[in-house]
A = this chain, B = another copy of it.
């Protein structure tokens, strides 16, 4: 039988709660679809670990994680005790880089049962992917301060893009578009204002496009692109963006479909030289943590993305059908979707719908 090893990292806050439901659904899918999941739970990459050890992860975290087929991740962050940039740079952002998960892939899809904040849109109208560069660009720790603490203070932060890092994510986006019906790539840029990296990004897009004659492409400046997400979200197929722009678009997209609490993401190493990591788009949500009311769908949908990455496409599709069935049922949805179910009830309902 097919067997997959999974590293399970629940993290903080509601991460710990929704993870249980993600695992529940994974295990049910495994028993129904004839594969098995070997879980290795990790107690690091969370602020509790930080409280005990003064760092987010042990020095030998890579050895402890070993070489799993994938990492299943909850959510990290507890700003009351650890500043966000410390907790994130010490965990999630390290995984993305150290495991060369250079694609962050997030669906934007209007789902049944999820109230859409945009007027007059129906499930089916909006269905696209955001492909985000996930290892370099604007998320750098290069830079520093001059004259710190004085009136003359100057603070510099460098955006670093490489041809290697840019081309590979562009290639992924064009490859993905080539598999889809509309075969269209939209590039997020800001070459009218950000005068060095962004005109160069545009050039790389044009170069890559030459290799994909069946795929059409266009570009929008990020300001107007965010506007287009609201005004014409049905226009998009595959949107490719730098680390920061992709971060923005992959929160905004789910917001436009009302699905921010249910959206998943894959941090993918397409070359499979290291494990990929799957996590919900939402964060650790300290305000609702511990109440058992968090929506587990983002975690469960992430499980489906993970299974697809592992080649279990049939099980992945079944989970998505179960998710859609449950979302369409007000009694089985959590409170954020105007339902009454607890995290656990919603998770169990999805497992049962399988």
Q: Which residues of A contact B (CB under 8 A)?
A: 77, 83-85, 87-89, 93, 116-120, 138-145, 150-164, 190-200, 221-224, 226-228, 230-231, 243-244, 247-248, 250-252, 254-256, 258, 260
Contact = CB atoms under 8 A, between A and B. Distances in A.
A161 B157 CA distance: 9
A200 to B, nearest CB: 5
A230 B84 CA distance: 24
B252 A195 contact: no
Contacts of A190: 244, 247
A162 B158 contact: no
B248 A192 contact: no
Nearest to A232: B117
A125 to B, nearest CB: 13
The 9 closest A-B pairs by CB, nearest first: A227-B255, A84-B192, A223-B251, A153-B163, A157-B197, A143-B196, A226-B252, A157-B196, A119-B119
A151 B164 contact: yes
A224 B197 contact: no
Contact of A230 (B159, B193, B256): B256
Contact of A162 (B138, B155, B163, B200): B155
Contact of A85 (B77, B83, B162, B195): B195
A226 B244 contact: no
A217 B314 CA distance: 49
A163 B151 contact: yes
Contact of A255 (B142, B221, B226, B248): B226
Contacts of A145: 196, 200
Contacts of A83: 191, 199
A152 B143 contact: no
Contacts of A223: 247-248, 250-252
11 contacts: A117-B119, A139-B193, A143-B159, A144-B196, A152-B164, A157-B196, A194-B244, A223-B247, A223-B248, A226-B226, A230-B255
Given A223-B248, A223-B251, A252-B223, A88 B193 contact: yes
B197 A226 contact: no
Contact of A195 (B77, B89, B197, B228): B89
A254 B193 CA distance: 20
Contact of A196 (B156, B191, B198, B256): B156
Q: Among A154, A228, A254, find the residue whose CB has the most chain B CB atoms closer than 10 A.
A: A154
Contacts of A93: 193
B199 A226 contact: no
B251 A138 contact: no
A158 B143 CA distance: 8
Contacts of A252: 223, 226-227, 230, 252
B154 A160 contact: yes
